[in-house]
Chains A and B, each alone.
Chain A
Amino acid sequence: MKSWLVIGQYLPGNSFIHRLDPRTKLIIIFSFVCVLFFANHWTGYLLFTTFTIVSIVLSKVSVPFLLKGITPVWFFIVLTFFLHILITKEGEILWELGWFQVYEAGLQRSIEISWRLLILVVFTSLLTLTTAPMEITDALESLLGPLKRWNLPIHELALMMSISLRFIPTLMDETERISKAQASRGVDLKSGTLKDRMYAFIPLLIPLFIGAFKRAEDLATAMEVRGYQGGEGRTKLRALQFSNLDIIAAIGYVIVLILFIYIRQ
């Protein structure tokens, strides 16, 4: 399979982080990302950096691979860095070039902000690297389950997500087939100006959409015949189960939080 066909970046494995319940991972990451923005001193950053490094080690994901995975985000991290240097004009001037001045507070602020961003990105990609997309869907369905009481279609959303995931490889295959078929009829997808290439995509997209609608109809029929009537009264084969590992992870995370509150005071 081509590399661009790999959706998400899930790396199957059996590490501590891999074996955690996806709900635990989602809760920890979500709350960690929030807490991250309360850091106001270098000790706080040190604590969070350590926590991140420990998590990476426990996940057994190789660091170069992790960094490669976040290449698209580097641009934003660098951009944030320079933006803050430009905007903040406090403290002593450290360096000057014409109208461009670097202030002490500016440098400090931009390092803090971009470091925060880096931790955030590394942490979230750790989630997608160690958790299959399907597990994330299940965890979301389970965690958002209480919202069903207010008639929010949580089950339906989760089902939509899982069917989309199921059909991504199918539609990818179809895209390739159609693009070959169109290429054999002289459609050129690879050269020309951006505008030309965008126009060349139309004969690819239309059959793809028509095909997808046909598939959707067939699938709906197949689901109906097998007795699908919505989420009510349905059992599930894939069951999420908290284990001792989740308790350990939760305790570890709570310790980090307590330390952080202590440092802030």
Chain B
Amino acid sequence: MIKFQDVSFRYRDTDAWVIDSLNLTIKENQKVAIIGKNGSGKSTIAKLISGLLLHELGHIYVENDQLTPENLLDIRKKIGMVFQNPENQFVGMTVKEDIAFGLENRGVKREVMLEKIVDILEQVSMLEYIDREPQHLSGGQKQRIAIASAMVLEPKILILDEATSMLDPVGRKEMMSLVETLHNRKPFTLLMITHELNEAILADRIIVIEKGKVVLDGTPRELFTHHNHALDELGFPAPYTIQLAKGLEKNGFSLEPFPLDQEELISALWKLHLKR
């Protein structure tokens, strides 16, 4: 559970609030996408939750504990984060050492460490790369290792801070399906900070941030069926599938249920076809 109560934040020596009395509650094990343009404050939210930046006003609760400078380190133990640049978050000389880094920091015994590393690498299907050096991995593979490094610490919350923005479309898709698989296997609260609406669709809930405030909040279905124009005006045109479905609707072919991705679109079209 993550809760923001009238949280405001600004950078030192500036006047403008980056986050402006934000109220937000994210339930346990929910998959939430936070989308926004550059400079909307979406990444700042991630940094506030993990205490990398400290809020000026209001209260932040993580798993029922209020975030304060004193308990920041304990709160951070509940959070795993994956950042944008795959290269810059790789601490170890090899895959194995990189995953070990977090475990070493927590004083985990060596034998236990080795078991955990093998186990998590199996889960992200990277076991054969255990002794590879980062320069011999692709960007997508490095991000998988970044996920493994975060998940090996068994966090309650996983935050992907624009984690796919430097990957190619294939790498992106693989990464999202990996997160999906991990979530299905053992649920955790997932927070995706992104500017890709395509990825946001995978979430249970989409929160649109603009100038440090929540402007839209709902399930992907709600947003695309009722707030399509608002999304468009905020600079997030609906993905192709949804535009197509909307276009069909306008011309008298209403699809039931309203499709969000390609597969749903195909089955809705079949249903429509069979009805005639």
Residues on A lying within 8 angstroms of B by beta carbon are 134, 162-163, 165-166, 169-170, 173, 214-215, 218-219, 221-229, 233-239
Contacts and interface: CB of A to CB of B under 8 A. Distances in A.
B150 A170 contact: no
A237 B113 contact: yes
Given A169-B133, A215-B88, A237 B97 contact: yes
Given A222-B88, A223-B101, A235 B52 contact: no
B87 A228 contact: no
Interface in B81-125: 81, 83, 85, 87-93, 96-97, 100-110, 113-114
B107 A166 contact: no
Given A162-B93, A165-B93, A166-B90, A222 B83 contact: yes
B85 A234 contact: no
11 contacts: A134-B93, A169-B135, A215-B87, A215-B88, A227-B105, A235-B103, A235-B107, A235-B108, A236-B104, A237-B100, A238-B97
B85 A218 contact: yes
Nearest to A230: B105
A229 B135 contact: no
B194 to A, nearest CB: 18
A225 B50 CA distance: 7
B77 interface: yes
Contact of B109 (A134, A162, A222, A235): A235
Given A226-B105, A237-B96, 7 more contacts: A215-B87, A222-B81, A223-B101, A225-B52, A225-B76, A234-B105, A237-B114
Contact of B52 (A162, A221, A229, A233): A221
B89 A166 contact: no
B91 A222 contact: yes
Shortest Cβ-Cβ A-B pairs, 10 listed: A218-B88, A222-B89, A237-B100, A226-B102, A227-B105, A169-B135, A225-B81, A215-B88, A233-B107, A228-B105
B113 A229 contact: no
Contacts of B100: 237
B83 A218 contact: yes
A212 to B, nearest CB: 10
Of B105, B106, B149, most A-chain CB atoms within 10 Å: B105
A235 B88 contact: no
Interface in B28-76: 50, 52, 73, 76
B216 interface: no
Contacts of A170: 87, 134-135
B76 A227 contact: yes
Contacts of B52: 221, 224-225
Contact of A221 (B83, B105, B108): B83
A169 B90 CA distance: 13
B79 interface: yes
Contacts of B97: 237-238
B67 to A, nearest CB: 14
Contacts of A215: 85, 87-88
